[in-house]
Structure 1
Amino acid sequence: MDIEKYMANVKKYVPNPSEDAVESLANHLRLALANRDSAIVAASDPEELASIKRGYCSVNLDLTSEEADAAIAKVCKIMQGDKSKCRVTFYYLLAQESDTMSRVAG
């Protein structure tokens, strides 16, 4: 797994990202990252965003439905210019925008 590639992508949005958090996310997402299609978040697909909300936001970040909706909306806006939204970066920004980075980087 190429952590540097994910770090570089996160750095497009965060000047000094936590390498521990990026590595943790990449390890957590390794199965999704193995497939080119699932390595990218389809932010225009409501089903995909609902899946992220039910899974990562609810289970991993322990967000309420409203908090998850707000964080997803913020991240979609932040990444709107990026046609291929890297899943690691998307999830990193979700943790950052919802103030739950400690749940990712331990």
Structure 2
Amino acid sequence: MATQHTYRVIVRGRWDGLTDGARAKLLAEADQHGLAQHRFTPEGSLVYDATLRSFTYRYVIVSDAADGEELAAALAEEKAEAALTAAGYGYRDLRSSATDMDTMKINRKGR
């Protein structure tokens, strides 16, 4: 059995071609998608502001360590694409970065 690692993935993108209805819905819910609500979750946490220029999703992806950060990033992008498409939101320029939480070194300050 392969070792499982936990990855934190940030997917960034830009809004594109939003319909009037989609724009109205995003603006009505903007206060629910601010930085204070931004968490890494398996289902993804969407953050944007009222300018509706760009957005960020944060995901927790658990996958085989041998597959690495690249696969975790690709899986998160697929999840973001599916969520955005299901909601009817236009987007472009998705890019992501992943961090393997199981290999991340934590520097602790001395007392």
Greater share of strand residues, 1 or 2? 2
Greater share of helix residues, 1 or 2? 1
Q: Which has the higher contact order (CA 8 A, sep 6+)?
A: 2
Say yes or no: TM over 0.5: no
- For normalisation by structure 1, the TM-score amounts to 0.28
